[in-house]
Amino acid sequence: MNDSGFDRYSRQLLFAGIGPVGQQKLLDARVTLVGCGALGSFQAAALARAGVGNIRIVDRDYVELSNLQRQWLFDENDAAEAAPKAVAAKRQIARLNSTLHVDAAIADLTAANADELLEGSEIVLDGTDNFETRYLLNDYCVRAGIPWIYGGAVGSYGITMPVVPGRTSCFACVYPKPPSGAQPTCETAGVLGSATALVAALQVSAAMKWIVSGEAPTGITTVDVWSGEIRRVEQPPPDLACRACGRRDFTWLESRRRTPISMCGRDAVQIHELTRPVDLAELAARLRPLGQVRCNEFALRFETPPWLLTVFPDGRVIVKGTTDAAVARSLYARYIGA
């Protein structure tokens, strides 16, 4: 570390938990962020300011005006040009700490590219918006022995939990199955920027502590920024019967799940990743404030220009208006729920 490094990080060097040795570990560290929305953009900025030397940002989406309320790193120019989030994040980080190495990957994390995107990470931070990607991330990290920090937020509520393979329960221990039925999402129930920032701040602290000490604060922490309630419950130990960390069955890495299919010549993508039924009437009620909804017992059609989503009771969705599977999956996560 040179003199400007000592100056830049002086308040962190004074902190007993970090000091010069810890700061050097941060400068040498390699961290991957999966998803660069509300959680990921806060994580990226905080890690960059703290001097984490190698940051890879993976995101499949682009910046929109409605992101700016909570996605700390982006500005009106990014939204006006619909910049890919990973690229916009890298550009903004260069302005606040030009000494780091940032790698922007415009990609949807899948079984096929997980190795390429996650290999060599010291720790991975979750900034995703759906259970499927988290199961995939969990399978990869448990198999590779890489810790990752789960985080999620909706409304004024947030949750975070570290997964340290071999030491703590993993994501599949705690959530053996995705929640059934349509779930509230940030697009249907809204989300406060203070809730996502708080969750992301806890994730960043856990990552920094892991990097400097090889320990992470364990426990499942839930927060509600509207009521002011913060709770922490003990995290169970690894479950011997767990599919992932117990039986080491890494289903999500083996692409046994159905993948999105571009529908030839139709400017549409079919998504059928889940095998759970959807209550169309309930979904219609949630989507009605957001666009035009037509619904009968066979299908629900939801129009949010330029896209048209057709949802079938078995959970299958056809997204018209794109041939890009990443865009279709993003719309699916937004409106149907993870």
Interface residues with Zn ion (CB under 5 A)? 170, 172-173, 242, 244-245
Tell me whether residue 61 or residue 139 sits nearer to Zn ion (CB atom): 139
Is residue 31 a contact partner of residue 54, using CB atoms and an 8 Å limit? yes
Q: What is the dihedral of CA 145, 130, 90, 305, to 10 degrees?
A: 160
Of these residues, 173, 186, 242, 245, which one is catalytic? 186
The minimum distance between CB 216 and Zn ion, in angstroms, equals 16
Rounded Cα distance, 316 and 299, in Å: 10
Residue in 79, 105, 97, 89 with CA at minimum distance from that of residue 40: 89
Q: Compute φ and ψ for 219, nearest 5 degrees.
A: 120, 155
The minimum distance between CB 251 and Zn ion, in angstroms, equals 13
Tell me whether residue 83 or residue 242 sits nearer to Zn ion (CB atom): 242
Tell me whether residue 172 or residue 325 sits nearer to Zn ion (CB atom): 172
Query: Nearest residue by C-beta to Zn ion?
Result: 242
The minimum distance between CB 168 and Zn ion, in angstroms, equals 9
The minimum distance between CB 241 and Zn ion, in angstroms, equals 9
Q: Is 186 among the residues known to form the active site?
A: yes
User: Which residue(s) pair with 152 in the sheet?
Assistant: 159
Tell me whether residue 52 or residue 245 sits nearer to Zn ion (CB atom): 245
The DSSP secondary structure of 90-133, one letter per residue, reads HHHHHHH-TTSEEEEEE----TTTHHHHHTT-SEEEE--S-HHH
Rounded Cα distance, 206 and 125, in Å: 10
The minimum distance between CB 170 and Zn ion, in angstroms, equals 3
Rounded Cα distance, 46 and 21, in Å: 19
**Tokens describing residue 104:** 């922007």
Rounded Cα distance, 173 and 22, in Å: 32
**3-class DSSP state for residue 159?**
strand
Tell me whether residue 170 or residue 211 sits nearer to Zn ion (CB atom): 170
The label of the residue with tokens 């990743």 reads: 273
Active site residues: 186
